[in-house]
Structure 1
Amino acid sequence: MDKKIIADVSPHEVRIALLEDDKLAEIYVERRGKERLVGNIYKGRVENVLPGMQAAFVDIGLDKNAFLYAGDILADTSDFEFGPNPEHPDLRSKSIGEAVQQGQEIVVQILKQPGGAKGARITTHVTLPGRMLVLMPTVNHVGVSRRIKDEAERTRLKEVLEGIKPEGMGVIVRTAAEYRSAEDFRDELELLVKLWKRIQARCEVIRAPRLIHAEEPLVFRTVRDMFTPDVSEFVINEREYYDKVTALAAIIAPNMKDRVKLYTGGASIFDDYGIESRIDKALEKKVWMKNGAYIIIDETEALTVIDVNTGKFIGDNDLQETILEANIEAAKEIAKQLRLRDISGIVVIDFIDMETEENKQKVIKALEAALSKDRTKTNVLGFTNLGLVELTRKKVRRKLSSIIKMTCPYCQGSGTVDSEETTALNLRRLILKQIAHSDAKEYLVEINPMVSKYIDSRDPSEAPIIPKIEGVKFYIVESEALHISDYRVTEIASAKEREKLIGKAKVFY
């Protein structure tokens, strides 16, 4: 598989696209002033301790207090495997009140980005990522990424790091460290330890709440985390960042620095690589597949729901085989969409109903195989009693839709607006109410053309939408600027106003 990283750097935002065989696989967006906070380290002050929730709220200087759950006072070992006896204090049996007290100043790191009404989620266990290693200065053990599958290599890496890690500190071995020697690790480990000492020194001279250490910007995180040997090109459209990335690559991956390219083409690097149009499609609710089937993706506050439909796919003579083929293809597409849209949390999938357990397991295996390409941890829980598939995907950053889109100001995120009939009836009620409290004889009524068309289409024998009131005239004006749910009714106060409407308005009386 040919992989390319395309970086679009502008004064307002940075966008990174990962292409796999020229197809958009991942997209990351970071806008000026709204940089990612995950990984930032703060000195915070405990504001409230809530024993009933086993949590505390900590002021770290952001708009909302951060949330510290008792379980996050332990290291997160979900992505790594550690030895049988990791040396860190067991706080599971302790209450949050025994771990932290109100007014206490503590060093914390953001685990999850704040969003909506929720503040950031934090942990007291700091991790400092490098390209091959992650230093854990507050715990004493060695872990190896679960993505390294070779057991002999896992054992070797553990032994190597046990021998060179700083005393009393822990290390996580990342995927990029596979088959590397102890000498490859020493320089990076030394840099990470120096960084931790600088953070400690700063903690001693500043008062909470204050940012102590900010995570790297998106472009440099990309070099550290994504610029792996299987990437053929890293193309950047901005000279300053090109020079910086080249210099960084020369330090951490000298054999790959020649793969960093400066884009010298047209005005838009994303247009030239065909990425811009794919971003728009990446946020569409309906996703068509090559075989004619399609999936519907609904993102809600609590979870994401995905519905699989056969669409135009008719298959062969065997109905169950047709359903199986459509579901397997959908499983592959769903894995791509979760990764591309960066959807996290709970995901529920409604595959087309299958009669046999064997076919269900084939679909689960296809889904797990497709998800194995995802760098973000996922956990497939299987089919429920209702025939739905449940999975979870770890939240690392804000999903793409929350960065690029906003809640619709008309429907408030419901996805629906008033129909033409509803708007017309609401308009009628407003007119009757206004007439009851006014002596005016002429009114200007402004409505959307679709509502006007509905009013005109009504059967003349039925009660009219615009009421017939003796001595009162209504001048109806269509306005494309008005949303379908909006309308305005105003009194016409002068002959001059009435003359302006002649030829433009329909008159009802």
Structure 2
Amino acid sequence: MKSNIYLDANPYEVRVAVVEDDSLAELYVERKGSERIVGNIYKGVVKNVLPGMQAAFVDIGIERNAFLYAGDISVDAVDEELPEVDEKAKCVPDIRKLVKVGQSIMVQVLKEPFGTKGARVTTNITLPGYKVVLLPKASYVGISRKIEEEEERTRLKTILEEIRPQGRGVIARTSAMGASREELCEQIQSQMDIYRDIHTIYDSCKAPKLIHSEENIYYRTVRDAFSSDIDGFYISSREAYDYVTSLVTAMNPSLLSRVKFFDAHYDMFEYHGLEARIDKALARRVWLKSGGYLVFDSAEALTVIDVNTGKFVGTNSLQDTILKTNMEAAEEIARQIRLRDISGIIVVDFIDMEDPCNRQKILEVLREAVKRDRTRTIILGITDLGIVELTRKKTKQSLATVFYAPCPYCEGEGTILSAESMAMKARKEVYHRFYRDGYKNVVIMAHPAVCMEINAKMKKGAELISCPAGHRVFLQQNGNMHIEHMEVEGVLNPQDAINMGAQPLCVKE
């Protein structure tokens, strides 16, 4: 599989695109002034303890207090004399035994603040390096699930068990494959030095205080995405190119020849067709090659993905057509979830399949497809109706949240009142002016679509508005008005309405 990374940088924004087999697989965007805080470590102070939620709120020095769940607290982070976690019962002590109001505590951000919710934090600190992740509060060795060769897994585990600091945990990342004992030891020592520096700052500063920042987008891209599987790493900015080459030289010099400067006077993303692919990644509807399509709808609690056959009619039986569409959809859904960075609860409504074996085939395709995603995704199963439930770990904002803001007209609801509904509203307002306010001449100022709806109903002979004797209604179009905004005003005489540019409306008396 051919894979490339494209990094486009300017003073206001950095964008990183990962392309696999000519398909946009991942997109990261970081804008000046809105840098992410996931991975940051703070000295916080406990502000509230909520036994009913088994959680606490911690002031870490940002706009909203962070949320700390009892299960995210390591005992040694607060007091060595507290009762230990009961591993067999898989429960934790009462939150009131773990933290107290006013207490200082070291926490790391797990999830970005979103909407009205503050950041989620943990005391289980992790310090990722290029080859290993240091877990100062754990005491075990883990191996990346992407390292599949059993012999290599055993080799790495043996080495790491021997060299890890006492009482500390380590995880071998995918890039640790083939690494020597010396390389792994050097990486762990480097991460331990960082942790000691963090503790030194923690002991000497006053809470709330940021004591360690997660690395910038350039460093994270090299650390997390740039591996031997990548054929080329293209960078549009000379300054960014120089910085990235220095990082690659330090982390994995064998890949340095794959880092290339895009020396051109035109937009790199446009040149490689990435802008059009980003637009498609933000669309509600995604077409499949067969002619079927997916529809993505997001609510506050979950994301729903609907699978449809669309233009695909197949050549054999209906069940074959459905199976082919669903299997193609499963592959594309895994890719879209990763690209759009959709997280939390995800519900997929596949086209209904009668054969249970076909339903299992869909699950197998989906499980295999999500393995390419670095973010953990759990597939919970499929129902007789073809409904699949997934959960995907949330760490940052989705792509749609980065690029879009809630609509100021519908306030993010996604719907507005129809022209017909506004016409009915105009009718009520006209009668208010006639009978409540005592006017004989009324002007309706509205969006052209609403005016057309009112005129259309009057021409059909419907009694949308009936005027008492001597009363008149005038209609004035205003293309600058929102369709849900309307002004219905009374005027003293008909000439005042005409002077406003309003036209008489033919009404039944």
* TM-score greater than 0.5 by the shorter chain: yes
CA contact (8 A) 2:37 2:112 kept: yes
Q: Partner residue of 1:62?
A: 62
Identity within the alignment, %: 46
Distance 1:129 1:495, change over 3 A: same
Q: Partner residue of 2:119?
A: 120
Distance 1:47 1:357, change over 3 A: same
CA contact (8 A) 1:266 1:272 kept: no
Question: 2:372, 2:294 → 1: CA distance?
Answer: 20
After superposition, the CA RMSD in angstroms is: 2.2
CA contact (8 A) 2:57 2:66 kept: yes
Alignment of 1:246-325 (within 5 A): 246-325=245-324
- Tell me the alpha carbon deviations over residues 183-233 of structure 1, each in whole angstroms, 9 at most, x when there is no partner: 222332222111111111111111111111111121221111101111122
CA contact (8 A) 1:346 1:391 kept: yes
How far is the alpha carbon of 1:499 from its aligned partner?
6.0
The residue type paired with residue 73 of structure 2 is I
The residue type paired with residue 100 of structure 1 is V
Local SS of the residue matching 2:48: strand
Q: Partner residue of 2:192?
A: 193
CA contact (8 A) 2:352 2:385 kept: no
Q: Partner residue of 1:337?
A: 336
CA contact (8 A) 1:428 1:467 kept: no
- Tell me the alpha carbon deviations over residues 28-47 of structure 1, each in whole angstroms, 9 at most, x when there is no partner: 11122211111010011111
Q: Partner residue of 1:9?
A: 9
Question: 1:72, 1:332 → 2: CA distance?
Answer: 34
Please say if 1:355 is aligned against 2:350: no
Local SS of the residue matching 1:475: strand
How far is the alpha carbon of 1:469 from its aligned partner?
4.3
**Residues paired across the two proteins, number:** 496
Question: 2:248, 2:493 → 1: CA distance?
Answer: 74
Distance 1:42 1:322, change over 3 A: same
The residue type paired with residue 484 of structure 2 is S
Alignment of 1:62-461 (within 5 A): 62-74=62-74, 89-90=84-85, 92-384=91-383, 386-438=385-437, 440-460=439-459
CA contact (8 A) 2:458 2:506 kept: no
How far is the alpha carbon of 1:22 from its aligned partner?
2.3
Question: 2:496, 2:264 → 1: CA distance?
Answer: 56
Question: 1:500, 1:266 → 2: CA distance?
Answer: 56
Question: 1:12, 1:437 → 2: CA distance?
Answer: 56
Local SS of the residue matching 1:231: coil
Question: 1:495, 1:50 → 2: CA distance?
Answer: 66
The residue type paired with residue 249 of structure 1 is V
Distance 1:362 1:436, change over 3 A: same
Question: 1:448, 1:266 → 2: CA distance?
Answer: 45
Question: 2:8, 2:98 → 1: CA distance?
Answer: 45
CA contact (8 A) 2:380 2:390 kept: yes
Distance 1:89 1:246, change over 3 A: farther
How far is the alpha carbon of 1:131 from its aligned partner?
0.8
Question: 1:479, 1:341 → 2: CA distance?
Answer: 38
CA contact (8 A) 1:421 1:454 kept: yes
- Tell me the alpha carbon deviations over residues 50-70 of structure 1, each in whole angstroms, 9 at most, x when there is no partner: 222211111111221111111
TM-score (norm 1): 0.92
Distance 1:435 1:120, change over 3 A: same
CA contact (8 A) 1:476 1:508 kept: no
Distance 1:74 1:148, change over 3 A: farther
- Tell me the alpha carbon deviations over residues 229-259 of structure 1, each in whole angstroms, 9 at most, x when there is no partner: 1112211222221111111111111111222
Specify every segment of 5 or more residues in structure 2 that has no aligned partner in the other structure, as ranges: 76-82
> Which stretch shifts more, 89-98 or 396-405?
89-98
Q: Partner residue of 2:481?
A: 482
CA contact (8 A) 2:70 2:92 kept: no
Q: Partner residue of 1:21?
A: 21
The residue type paired with residue 43 of structure 1 is K
Question: 1:197, 1:313 → 2: CA distance?
Answer: 60
Local SS of the residue matching 1:221: helix
Question: 2:390, 2:174 → 1: CA distance?
Answer: 24
Q: Partner residue of 1:34?
A: 34
Q: Partner residue of 1:80?
A: none
The residue type paired with residue 151 of structure 1 is E
Question: 2:19, 2:468 → 1: CA distance?
Answer: 66
Question: 2:327, 2:139 → 1: CA distance?
Answer: 43
CA contact (8 A) 2:44 2:58 kept: yes
How far is the alpha carbon of 1:460 from its aligned partner?
4.1
Q: Partner residue of 1:43?
A: 43
The residue type paired with residue 66 of structure 1 is A
Q: Partner residue of 1:84?
A: none
Question: 2:111, 2:6 → 1: CA distance?
Answer: 26
How far is the alpha carbon of 1:413 from its aligned partner?
2.7
